[in-house]
Chain A
């Protein structure tokens, strides 16, 4: 279909009766859009709005408001999500917050926009976790849409565009809204949250814009009959597993078209996994190069003229394109959403209940390891762990989308050793993996001359506390010995049989305690002692093999 730039759409775009958006209450036609935008723009001009923070639930409302802002000569400021805390935090960035289209009365006819002068601002997490502001012109977004339409326009034809991703993000904004509007395809104004409703809203061929999180959860769906399968499914945010792509093909009748990009760059590459190991392929006009460290540099019509984006994406060039090898900073993708571990750790640690916190990913799931303030421990016990976790999540959810927040929580007496300013990622991941760990948390290590001291924190969830005395959990002596043998091997490099041990147990070792274990080698013997504060819990010697 022929493309009309957004800058020209309302003054002299398409026929008045062209359907722009599909809504439950009836279609939004171009004529109705033009009227509402003209009125809204007049209202904004009267209020002398310069910078408008825009967040709406409905995509058609968003389009009306966005065009009104641009036609009023103001800058549209896009929050990274529509959570109340995020909007409040960005209030200083704008002189007006719109959560619904502005309403006005009589208005003058709309003049064409100067696409180079129309400005939109986005926010994303920078590589150090701080919030980064990104300005784009309407011209940049129009150039991106022109590339997409040239590549896929013919295949999509006049199919309506439906979505399960928010239009507040760049991917949703471009694919669900700007592209369809410029190409003359109707878009569905409301966002679907379940496949059941998306499928119900697709009586015939349509374009679906979904997240990798949705694609990974297709199981159990009845295969769509021919004639109702989408013409294309676009997804972005994270690579889709090959098995997931195949399942999508089997159930929905079409392989997902994956888009590689970011808020900074928009869409820059794509792939469709119709074979093993399909590389990402640059979109026409995008030029990709690798700089030191294997990081991707991007030149693209989506960027400002002459601009180069130095990404933190590690890639390998392969015939036909590139392979993505992860991020080079503390940004991770949780359900396809960008999360800065550094920033989120700081936010978590700032909650009143929390003394210390660390985050780690395991099998694509984000987990939190938390040391609670003493007062909060009672609340955890009283309300049950799950509700307590979700309360902490709720506190973070004022500025993050809940699905991008930690899903697995571990409440610990201490966090593992913090060496060289970096937490031991493997230790964190191991703590996430096991609800009932078998090893204590190593919080400090002091090597000496043929000796070593270790500070150990014992989570109440430790496997060894289960069983024997349900009302009075203690650490079994055999486990204490086992740890002595293991740490002597690991930190002193000596193998000593536990069978040679002579041990004196003085005081029981209880859950949530922090101990110091000293190991030292003297005269063919390994001596050890577990101490808590000034008192010895147990001590003994093991005979080194001759």
Chain B
């Protein structure tokens, strides 16, 4: 598992205040929304804020494309790696 994936799992738990979940309990390829982890649309908005703030992501994307980037931790890690603001 990449460091970025581990970081994103920690970010999900802290940003969404999921006090009853450990980062390691999230599988990298598990769907984040719906039947997988069970995140909802409000969680999605909160996650958006956390990604903008943490990685300086300045993205504009079509609905479907964005949905795919947010599908799993692994997909998010790839997306962040490709779009993060250079440090």
Contacts and interface: CB of A to CB of B under 8 A. Distances in A.
A393 B59 CA distance: 31
B49 A219 contact: yes
Contacts of A24: 62
B61 A217 contact: no
Contacts of B22: 384
B58 A222 contact: yes
B37 interface: yes
Given A384-B21, A386-B18, A435-B19, A200 B44 contact: no
Interface residues of B, number: 30
Interface stretch (A67-75, A188-196, A345-353, A510-518): A188-196
A220 B59 CA distance: 11
A128 interface: no
Contacts of A405: 40
Contact of A197 (B41, B53, B63): B63
A394 interface: yes
Nearest to A334: B42
B78 interface: no
Contacts of A386: 18, 20-21, 25
Contact of B63 (A193, A219, A394): A193
A48 interface: no
Interface in A94-119: none
Interface residues of A, number: 34
B63 A402 contact: no
Given A222-B58, A386-B20, A402-B40, A196 B66 contact: yes
Interface in B31-57: 35, 37-38, 40-42, 44-46, 48-49, 51-53
A139 to B, nearest CB: 34
A24 B18 CA distance: 36
A199 interface: yes
A194 B19 CA distance: 24
Interface of B: 18-22, 25, 35, 37-38, 40-42, 44-46, 48-49, 51-53, 58-63, 65-67, 70
17 contacts: A193-B41, A193-B63, A193-B66, A193-B67, A194-B44, A194-B48, A194-B66, A194-B70, A197-B61, A200-B60, A200-B61, A217-B42, A221-B52, A384-B20, A384-B25, A391-B38, A405-B40
Interface of A: 24, 190, 192-197, 199-201, 213-214, 217, 219-222, 335, 384-387, 389-391, 393-394, 402-403, 405, 407, 409, 435
